[in-house]
Chain A
Amino acid sequence: MTYIAKPSLHHPSLERNSVGFTRRDYEGRISTLCAGCGHDSISASIIQACFEIDLEPHRLAKFSGIGCSSKTPDYFVGPAHGFNAVHGRMPSVLTGANIAAKDLIYLGVSGDGDSASIGLGQFCHAVRRGVNMTYICENNGVYGLTKGQFSATSDKGSKAKKGAENKDSAIDLVMLALQLGATYVGRSFSGDKHQLVPLIKGALSHKGTSFIDVISPCVAFNNHVGSTKSFDYVREHNEAVNRMDVITPRAPITADYKAGELKEVVQHDGSILRLRKLEDDYDATDRNAALGYLARKASEGEIVTGLLYVDPDASDLHDGLNTVSCQLNKLTDQELIPSLSALEKINDSLR
């Protein structure tokens, strides 16, 4: 068969989720990325998130473009169909698949080269359309697979491994996503699993376009002093605005926080985003305020993380297209082929 190289025998005592799968059922093939790569931590978080939200693995559809990050969909959720598209064009392929089979859960994984350079246009337009997907940018500020060129998310003044300084302004994908109408926007750090897993869970449960920018240091080419995407730099400048728990519709609700500390957001599928504020003046449901706050913090050199914006009542591309409830790829011949008499009427109208 064409998936999972790892032994498929699991220990019988492994915990199962409510749809009967163990965490190991969400694994993929063995990663070929460098030891210590941030991207592998993100894959682990994706696996954990899918397991925890009780997603049947085959109901996920995985997409990516080209680059190190885009290799990763092979390394998680093996029983899901995957599509490794051409460079920078993952968003269009995902959009088309979503139009054909809207009941699946769509996950696009891409890098900063894929998303902010060659594929910037497709990124923007997929967000504008409100494609129902989770788009994760594994952002390391560098072209790893071609050995260390700056990417468009590299900060101005950041240094390359051999000392060259980046002279160009950085593209901030979070700001772009907010401006273009993404309805769930987060930023995190590959080294912070406790923050990242709930962010991914909330995104996969969200209806509409979810975007998560994950700073994911490149251990081979962008983890040195002078880089603003190194482990040390990100740890020092990481400013989380909130902490989140995601309560799936199936899970029992427990209250272990004091009243007043929490903001609860109920999403379309019934999942609850339970936000605990770390910054008093940050409201994750106010898009304009979020844009202002992020711009201010960016100018101070801080990397703001957490759930930055959510609109739980968002609509998606299919609402706009007014498509039938049945997936387009399941429509029968009878539903697709008009009658002969309709054709004869058309013939008549053309005489």
Chain B
Amino acid sequence: MTKPIAATNDFVVKFANVNGSGSASANGMFAKVILRMGVPVGARNIFPSNIQGLPTWYEVRLSDAGWLGRRGGVDLMVAMNPQTWDADLKEIMPGGYLLYDSSKPLPASKFRDDINLIGAPLTELIASEFSVPRERQLFKNICYVGVLAQLLGLESETVQLLLKEEFKGKDKLIQPNFKAFELGRAYAEANIAPIGLHVKRSDKVGDRIFVEGNDAAALGAVYGGATFCAWYPITPSTSLAESFQKYCTMLRKDADGKNRFAIVQAEDEIASIGMVMGAGWAGSRAFTCTSGPGISLMNEFVGFSYYAEIPAVIFDVQRGGPSTGMPTRTQQSDLMLAAYASHGDTKHPMLFPGSPTEAFEMGAQAFDLSDFFQTTVFVMLELDIGMQEWLTEPFKWDEKRRLNRGKVLTYEHLEQGVPFGRYRDVDGDAVPYRTYPGTHPTKGSYFTRGSSHDKDARYSEKGEDYTEGMERLLRKWETMKSHVPAPIIKKAKKRTPDGVIYMGSTDPAMEEALCAMESHGIHLDALRVRAFPFNSEVFEFIRDHEQVFVVEQNRDAQLKSLLVNEGGVHPARLVSVLHYDGTPITARFIIKDITEKLQAGQAAALPEKAK
């Protein structure tokens, strides 16, 4: 028999459930109890594009050391789905544990002999106390949390407190839930031998919060002054619009119940972005939230926004592509799509939040950037950030901060005789002035069009008018580079010729990987890209290293392509580390891939480097 795994505050529990069975709230409760006990948790829902009956998983990684990326491997599997039983069992590490419903006997062939079996007759326990079928199904979930609480040492009083908070206002649900919890806990106490995994109260959580990126981004939009959201439902972005509704209802109501916001569920993504264009043109901060297929549809308007210079914010919660792809799996595969969306010569700024905290900050900042630069700004979320709850730094806001509306001429300006030409570069930064409709009875009107125009917005097919406008747009792109968020650079403890560039949700896995590699004598300077266009620091970083790994979650190395294309970097200097099966990237994957590539590089000289 393999030695049972023994670990305290450092192991992975995975729940295998059937979707629609009500497991999500019980599993979420499990994670929250551990957080309340001061132990950091990385939690991930792995779910199908389906409402009822298909497999779903919830993975909880406990880490006193604070590693919140997905680890890979499972120490304790709670196997509640017969459909996925065989595959679930395979995932358990040798010496790991299996908690299963032992109400019906299972043949020995259904088990593994190198894992520890924990049978609890959950169905029977619940049937003895509850009679309504739906109750029996729901309370089985909280019952296995009771078993786990006893085995791992979760605090019952914390569970009770959380149940009270969870069901505030639906108080009659608190008692039966706690009863089901106690059924499981008492059974385990009386019948199951202690195991090697334990949760011990700690103090590593601090003031951090546990929140989804979509929720955070929506709150950022509220603080960023967005008044209008036009959207079309699509996984995994839907909860962003729903959260915007929630926070606006909470924070943007007048005393008489009137709304200082508007939300329209449009007929499709094209109408969504069209409405955003109209509102942005008229001087309201507006956004839409969508995913890859939506961006594909929005392309024409995004090009319009670029050329006619209209502010808009698009939250792209990236999922697995191409086509319908994997709607409920994560990827970073819309970079090329967003960067150069639409026909003709276009490019668009993108922000890459690396956590829900940054999703909040960038969710607000995107509106200042789009108003100032009068163009579409993409906030490139990912399913792994957007739809997963992360333990993350609390939201911060500077009360002195004002919304930067950019260059807008008012009635007073026009009245004082300030000259206006819609596409003139007055300040030398290539950013023109605009007016809102209805500003002045005789001055400041203009005609907005996607067809070629001169610097006073008049229709023109003259080559020189056209190139003057297109070149100003390029200069505006240059101005942007010093306004978008700078990268975050972490120097290795030792001087090294090797660097690594990454973005977004890769952050926690990368932090863990860097630390682990360092303990094995592998040193890498690291740079997390936070925006496109890339700031000069990004290219200086590449210049200062002999080889730079580019870690990203797509097949075609899209971040690398952008670096090569925009910075004239020799492709051979950039070595891709690509993870794109739809699951979040792990530290184990990064360490293995980089280590192998470094070893291979030492054995045989690297490809010819750029001069």
Q: Which residues of A contact B (CB under 8 A)?
A: 1-3, 56-59, 61, 63, 73-74, 78-86, 89, 91-101, 103-104, 121-122, 124-125, 129, 321-325, 328-329, 331, 333, 335-340, 342-343, 346-347, 350-351
Contacts and interface: CB of A to CB of B under 8 A. Distances in A.
A114 B437 CA distance: 24
A335 B401 CA distance: 14
A93 B277 contact: yes
Contact of B260 (A73, A100, A122, A335): A335
A83 B435 CA distance: 13
B443 A1 contact: yes
Nearest to B222: A338
A350 B225 CA distance: 22
Interface of B: 35, 207-211, 219, 222-223, 225, 227-228, 230, 247, 250-252, 254, 257-264, 266-268, 270-284, 286, 300-301, 304, 394-397, 399, 401-403, 420-422, 435-443, 445-451, 456-459
Nearest to B36: A351
29 contacts: A2-B446, A2-B457, A58-B440, A61-B282, A63-B278, A74-B447, A81-B437, A82-B448, A83-B449, A89-B274, A92-B275, A96-B230, A96-B281, A100-B284, A101-B437, A104-B438, A122-B274, A321-B259, A328-B227, A328-B262, A329-B282, A329-B436, A331-B227, A336-B252, A338-B252, A343-B223, A350-B209, A350-B210, A351-B209
Given A86-B304, A100-B284, A329-B283, A58 B447 contact: no
Given A103-B438, A322-B259, A343-B223, 14 more contacts: A79-B445, A81-B435, A89-B300, A92-B230, A92-B272, A96-B277, A100-B280, A104-B437, A121-B267, A324-B260, A329-B279, A329-B283, A333-B402, A335-B260
- The 9 tightest CB contacts between A and B, nearest first, are A96-B278, A92-B274, A100-B284, A96-B275, A81-B437, A329-B283, A100-B282, A97-B278, A350-B209
Contact of B397 (A61, A84, A340): A340
A332 B208 CA distance: 31
A58 B254 CA distance: 29
Nearest to A61: B437
A337 B220 CA distance: 10
A322 B228 CA distance: 13
B223 A101 contact: no
Most B CB within 10 A of own CB, among A63, A79, A81, A323: A81
B422 A2 contact: yes
A74 B270 CA distance: 25
A193 to B, nearest CB: 25
Given A98-B278, A350-B210, A342 B271 contact: no
B271 to A, nearest CB: 4
Contacts of B223: 337-338, 343
A221 to B, nearest CB: 22
Given A84-B450, A94-B278, A336 B228 contact: no
If over half of B's interface residues share one DSSP class (helix, strand or loop), that class is named, otherwise mixed; here it is loop
B258 A323 contact: yes
A335 B35 CA distance: 36
A74 B459 contact: yes
Contacts of B267: 121-122, 124-125
Contact of A83 (B209, B266, B440, B448): B448
Contacts of A346: 219, 247, 395
Contacts of A129: 264
A58 B445 contact: yes
Given A92-B278, A338-B223, A350-B211, A100 B228 contact: yes
Contacts of A91: 271, 274
Given A1-B456, A85-B304, A336-B225, A324 B447 contact: no
A152 to B, nearest CB: 18
Contacts of B283: 100-101, 329
A327 to B, nearest CB: 8
Contact of B447 (A2, A97, A121, A122): A2
Contacts of B209: 347, 350-351
Contacts of B441: 56-58, 79
Contacts of A328: 227-228, 260-262, 279, 284
B270 A100 contact: no
A328 B276 CA distance: 13
A98 B270 CA distance: 17
B275 A99 contact: yes
A83 B397 CA distance: 36
Contacts of A81: 435-438, 445-448
Nearest to B206: A351
Nearest to A32: B459
Nearest to B394: A347
Given A58-B445, A78-B445, A100 B210 contact: no
Nearest to B399: A340
Given A86-B300, A321-B262, A99 B438 contact: no
B275 A95 contact: yes
A10 to B, nearest CB: 13
B226 to A, nearest CB: 8
Nearest to B270: A89
B300 A101 contact: no
B301 A89 contact: yes
Nearest to B208: A351
Contacts of B277: 85, 92-93, 96
Contacts of B420: 1-2
A336 B403 contact: yes
A337 to B, nearest CB: 6
Given A58-B438, A322-B258, A324-B259, A2 B445 contact: yes
Nearest to A104: B438
A339 B270 CA distance: 34
A78 B449 CA distance: 15
A328 B260 CA distance: 7
Contacts of A1: 420-421, 443, 456
Contacts of A339: 399
Given A80-B437, A93-B281, A2 B421 contact: yes
Most A CB within 10 A of own CB, among B228, B282, B439: B282
A84 B279 contact: no
A84 B448 contact: yes
Contact of A100 (B278, B300, B451): B278
A325 B260 CA distance: 9
B271 A122 contact: yes
A100 B456 contact: no
Given A81-B446, A333-B225, A58 B439 contact: yes
Nearest to A129: B264
B268 A121 contact: yes
Most B CB within 10 A of own CB, among A79, A84, A92, A96: A96
A210 B437 CA distance: 21
Contacts of A61: 282, 437-438
A97 B286 CA distance: 10
A99 to B, nearest CB: 5
B262 A99 contact: yes
A73 B447 CA distance: 9
A74 B421 CA distance: 17
A333 B450 CA distance: 31
B274 A85 contact: yes
Given A84-B447, A84-B450, A96-B277, A336 B286 contact: no
Contacts of B222: 338
